[in-house]
Amino acid sequence: MQQSPAIEAVAPLRASEDPRQTWVISDGRAGNHRQALALAHHLHRAATEILVTTRKPWSYAAPRVLPFASRAFEDPIRRVLSGASQAPALVIGCGRQAALATRLLRARGSFAIQILNPRLPSSHWDIVIAPEHDGVHGQNILTLPGSIHDVTPSRLATVAQTPHAFQSMPSPRVALLIGGDTHNQSFDQTAFAALLEEVKAFVRRTDGSLLISNSRRTPQVVSDGLRDAVDDLPSYVWTGADDAARLGEFPHNPYSHYLALSDVIICSADSVSMLSEAAATRAQLFVFGDVSGTSAPSKFARQLIELGRAQVWTGDAALAEVTPLDTNGDLVTRLHHLAATLHP
């Protein structure tokens, strides 16, 4: 019996253990890659991870399509676009360069989900998922308060049971998650130095411990000085895999452990992904940096503050129980409903 259009529309969103049928596409930036991969995880679809480096001149215009756009990509995307291999059933992209790939793959038969506002008509994709603070709306646009992530109570519980070097450190464990420069603003190193002194003072007052993680965007001069700055405290500092290998530390980024085991998280207000993931934990959340600007992270930080899930860091914290903010709870249900609605 022939399936109805609605059933066919939802089919690419059903669970699959075949990674060839689902491609997760990004430019490799942590926030973009994690969101696309998290969506595949929520859909229970094993996925092939593809990091794109779009060739010029197509990279300048992406996701707009210039002539001969299939030449912008390497295999396996190029093989599909040239007709040499079959398109995957589902492609999930995040970021501007990935949006060009998902748009072109849709023309080859893939069901295309694009995460983040592509700043073109959403009709070029099957579904667009955008954060609420972008203020975009449309028939095939699904909005979320923050970013897509896979920080769930069950995953945090599993991570908490996995041994790590800082598990025996005293509570309260204070995690300091550091971002860096963005296209909207520069990381204020002077303000960060003052913040670090305040955080250290709080850790001393509470007889706790300090967990620090930088990002790829953190200025090198800041990362280089972190270990010496906190060597008088119970602390664990992550400044990248190369440093960890050189110092004989755990070789894997402890970010997930920080989320699972921290009592307090202080997060720079320059990453929607980091703020979303921190808000999904049971740790008290504080933000530092610019929360008054027009950038997406600033808008989302203000939203978290208005919801009562975050506070601006002022140098102290009164420890209290918090309720995690579940922004992704009904994501799969909404996706299935939207797909079926678009093809009644």
User: How far is 262 from 173, CA to CA, in rounded Å?
Assistant: 5
3-state secondary structure of 195: helix
Cα 167 to chain centroid, rounded: 25
User: CB within 8 A of 94, min separation 6: which ones?
Assistant: 25, 26, 31, 32, 33, 35, 36, 114, 115, 116
Task: Walk me through the domains of the chain, giving residue ranges and CATH numbers.
Answer: 5-148+329-342 (3.40.50), 153-312 (3.40.50.2000)
**First vs last Cα of the chain: how many Å apart?**
17
Of residues 1, 111, 90, the one with CA closest to residue 46 = 90
pLDDT of amino acid 252: 81
Tokens 């998922």 locate to 129
Residues of the chain short of pLDDT 50, as ranges, are 1-5
DSSP structure class, residue 6: H
* This prediction's pTM: 0.87
Rounded to 5°, the CA angle 247-250-255 comes to 115
Distance in angstroms (rounded) separating the CA atoms of residues 238 and 175: 11
Please say whether the beta carbons of 287 and 313 come within 8 A.
yes
Q: Kindly state the helix (H) or strand (E) to which residue 93 belongs, with its residue range.
A: strand 90-94
**Of 99, 103, 101, the residue nearest 116 (C-alpha):** 99
* HSE-up of residue 155 (Cα within 13 Å, Cβ side): 14
Tell me the C-alpha distance between 294 and 324, whole Å: 26
Query: Which positions ≥6 away from 135 have C-beta within 8 Å?
Result: none
pLDDT of residue 224: 87
Q: Which residues contact 130 (CB under 8 A, 6 or more apart)?
A: 115, 116, 117, 136, 141, 142, 143, 144
